[in-house]
Amino acid sequence: MKSGVTKTLIIGYGNTLRHDDAVGPAIIQWLTPPPSGVELMEAHQLLPEFAEPVSRAKRVIFIDASISIPPGTIQFRRIKPAESRLGHHMSPEAVLMLAKTLYGHAPDATVIAIGACFLDVGEGLSPQVESVARRLTRHLSYWLTR
């Protein structure tokens, strides 16, 4: 692993102009400023360029909205590096694989998915998603400072 190791990297991603899809970036904003040893990244979508900062982390947490789980619920899923086609959308597993391939290290990784209610065009989270996201933010803040 490279020097300049980050204890925890949190990447919140999603389209801020699609209501609940903005939950990842919203959580990053609510966690700012981050606790010591934590680096925050906010993005519209995952990119190959994230492989380098991911490779410097001991642990990475990806936060995103999901239509695969019930609205307003949270799902935690441990992930490993996995190959994936590079295209319009990049998976967290593919970012880990690039980090491992290009930089020699893929950290422990977790995806936190939050079930979305509304993904139509517009700004602001639905009340249900905002409530669960704020609760998750409080838990993350507590956990990251212990």
What is the chain's pLDDT, residue by residue, as a tens digit (146 residues)?
Answer: 445 677 999 999 999 999 999 999 999 999 999 999 999 999 999 999 999 999 999 999 999 999 999 999 999 999 999 976 655 579 999 999 999 999 999 999 999 999 999 999 999 999 999 999 999 999 999 999 88
Q: What is the pLDDT of residue 6?
A: 78
Counting Cβ atoms within 10 Å, is residue 140 exposed (0-12), middle (13-18) or buried (19+)?
buried
Domains of the chain: 6-144 (3.40.50.1450)
Place of tokens 């410097």: 56
Say how many C-beta atoms besides its own lie within 10 A of residue 13's C-beta: 25
User: Which residues does residue 114 pair with via DSSP β-bridges, in sequence order?
Assistant: 65, 74
- Distance CA(8)–CA(53), nearest Å, equals 10
pLDDT for the residue numbered 131: 97
Q: Whose CA is closest to 54, among 64, 39, 37, 72?
A: 39
